Amino acid sequence: QVQLVQSGAEVKKPGASVKVSCRASGYTFTNYYIHWVRQAPGLGPEWVGIINPSVGGTSYAQKLQGRVTMTRDTSTTTAYMELSSLRSEDTAVYYCARGGAVGAAWGAGEHWGQGTLVTVSS
Amino acid sequence: EIVLTQSPGTLSLSPGERTTLSCRASQSVSSIYLAWYQQKPGQAPRLLIYGASNRATGIPDRFSGGGSGTDFTLTISRLEPEDSAVYYCHQYGRSGGTFGGGTKVEIK
């Protein structure tokens, strides 16, 4: 069965960086896009960006351009989301979600990771 | 960026009732790029509908999606107690994804 397992909670100081991992199993990793979505406490989801695990191509939310970097390691079927210059507003649960088949539309997220809480606090 | 506006903000309904949730886009969205999710406290969103009207795997047929262009709907017929949740629309077009602000459905 499809599984996405994320790394554990992080506490970071303002200005630092955080890197969240998402290990995929149960399907061919390079065949499906991976979305990253975050959700601040009490608020709705916010799309962070997407990666094509086959070639590593990415697209990011405009407001996070320049601070977010998505990568993948096909040998370990793991996707990564790194966010730099952290500020308190970045405090949120970060999710990875499997999208559609590579080569087609990005697709909606049918399978989700368990979420990683990132807390930014001095 | 495409802004999605959901209405109403909150609904309080009885089991067995039917309801329709609205999602309006600030510019036209291709139907193939519109999804609906259900989210309960402490859980990740659960995909209900993709491509505006296609039910995801395992979703009961009392959930249905429709609409096109800038106006999309999620209809829940015969509400059940477990449908108490927040519902979000999501567009995932190539210009970048966005989510609506959500509609909270409370079951009396």
Q: Which residues of B touch A (CB under 8 A)?
A: 1, 32-33, 35, 37, 39, 44-47, 50-51, 56-57, 86, 88, 90, 92-94, 96-102
CA separation, residue B17 to residues A69, B60, B61 (Å):
45, 16, 15
Please tell me whether residue A43 adopts helix, strand or coil conformation.
Answer: coil
DSSP A73-115: ETTTTEEEEEE-S--GGG-EEEEEEEEEETTS------EE---
Nearest CA in chain A to B52: A108
Average pLDDT, stretch A91-101?
96
- B32 secondary structure, DSSP code: G
**pLDDT higher than threshold 90 for residue A106:** no
* pLDDT over 70, % of chain A: 100
The size of the A-B interface in CB pairs under 8 A is: 67
Name the minimum distance, in Å, from the CA of A49 to any CA of chain B: 8
| Average pLDDT of chain B to the nearest whole number | 96
Question: Cα-atom radius of gyration of chain A, to the nearest Å?
Answer: 14
Q: What is the pLDDT of residue B95?
A: 84
What tens digit of pLDDT does each residue of B10-45 get?
Answer: 999 999 999 999 999 999 999 999 999 999 999 999
Q: Max alpha carbon distance in chain B (Å)? A: 40
Answer whether A35 touches B (CB < 8 Å): yes
Please write the tens of the pLDDT for every residue from B63-96. 999 999 999 999 999 999 999 999 999 999 888 8
Task: Report yes or no: B75 and B64 within 8 Å, Cβ to Cβ.
Answer: yes
The pLDDT > 90 percentage for chain B reads: 95
Residue A104's pLDDT is 82
Cβ–Cβ < 8 Å for B76, B22: no
- Using the predicted structure, report yes or no on whether residue A73 has a pLDDT greater than 90: yes
Q: What is the pLDDT of residues B44-67, one digit of tens each?
A: 999 999 999 999 999 999 999 999
Query: What percentage of chain A has pLDDT greater than the value 90?
Result: 94
- The helix (H) or strand (E) run that includes residue B51 is none
Of A44, A95, A99, the CB nearest to B101: A44
pLDDT in tens, A15-56: 999 999 999 999 999 999 999 999 999 999 999 999 999 999
